[in-house]
Amino acid sequence: MARSKRHTKSGPGATVDGVYEVRVYSASIVGATLTVLTGGEAGRFFSVDDSGTVLGRGDEVDITFSDETVSRHHASIALVDGRFELTDLESHNGTFIDGLAVRGTIALPRRCRIQLGTRVMLEWNALDELGVDAIGKLSKALLLDPLTGTGNRLHLEQRLASETSYARRHHQALGLLLLDLDHFKGVNDEHGHLVGDRVLANVGHALTESCRTEDAVFRYGGEEFCVLVRGLDLDSLMQMAERIRRMVAALEVDIDDGCVQVTTSIGVAALDLKDKPDAEQILLLADRALYRAKTFGRNRVERFEVE
């Protein structure tokens, strides 16, 4: 004779008298993810928390989409009484949940697809605390450079876009330092890649330790690093860059017959808020300044100012 399953609402599954108990959790929703499914940004995902999120094409929104069918302030998402709600902000081309048009505010299910305008499709997943923790660990793994412990190129692109939008919304200074370790190929050629990796790891750690909490350090690629700096003018950025240049020059990596030291060239640029730049402009300006530093002899700091 078949035996029925017992059900309870607490604790993990367990076997009692040979019968498996299915125990159900009813964890509350505390966060969510949005994953882009279409277009050139397909694969990008965003974490959504309880602070409120605005989606759109404008510079001052929290999550920005470049698609022209998305309004500047298209829709907002907020956590209200334990559930997420989506509001269409009178967008021109509409907001849709699983194909149905949204009028005003609607409660979001745990999983659905959200369409903004005619071309942007997003996957929505609401999360409890376990889910938020798991996504946080996944994001960290995806966005960190494993050798240096700094952010990677993908993290830089995402952070640069958000910091540029923040700076423009709040009229706050944003600076960027672009570092290139001088003659680093010679380190690899003479001492081997393992020693070169130790040098990179030491530089990444030193940069992270020397920067403020509100700043962010990234490995831009190879022997290049990038530092995003909030709230400092160009002169203060130059002072910060000079301090970092001296710090890198003083680092030592011990090897069997002595130690290895490197120097760095640094390009400095500040966001031009008057020109309404995109996120790539400040990186381009810093790259030009870095080129000047290397052209003028390396192991120096150069700035780039918009004339």
Task: Give the active site residues.
Answer: 223
Contacts of 142 (CB under 8 A, 6+ apart): 154
SS3 47: strand
Q: How far apart are CA 159 and CA 149, in angstroms?
A: 16
**What distance, in Å, lies between the first and last C-alpha atoms of the chain?**
87
> 141, 148, 266, 145: which is closest to 204 by C-alpha?
148
In 3D space, the residue among 286, 250, 95, 61 whose CA is nearest the CA of residue 175 turns out to be 286
Q: Angle at which helices 129-143 and 153-170 pack, to 10 degrees?
A: 110
Cα distance between residue 252 and residue 30, in whole Å: 46
- In the sheet with 63-64, reading across from the earlier edge strand, the strands are 63-64, 53-56, 75-80, 83-88, 105-107
Cα 168 to Cα 63: distance, rounded to the nearest angstrom: 14
Per the CB < 8 A criterion, the answer to whether 54 and 62 are in contact is yes
Burial 115-144 (b: 16+ CB within 10 A, else e): bbbeebbbebbbbeeebbeebeeebeeebb
Residue at token pair 């300006």? 285
Task: Please choose, from the candidates 94, 128, 92, 99, the residue with its C-alpha nearest in 3D space to the C-alpha of residue 113.
Answer: 99
H-state helical runs in 144-253: 153-170, 184-191, 193-210, 234-250
**What does the alpha-carbon distance between residue 248 and residue 210 come to, in Å, rounded to a whole number?**
11
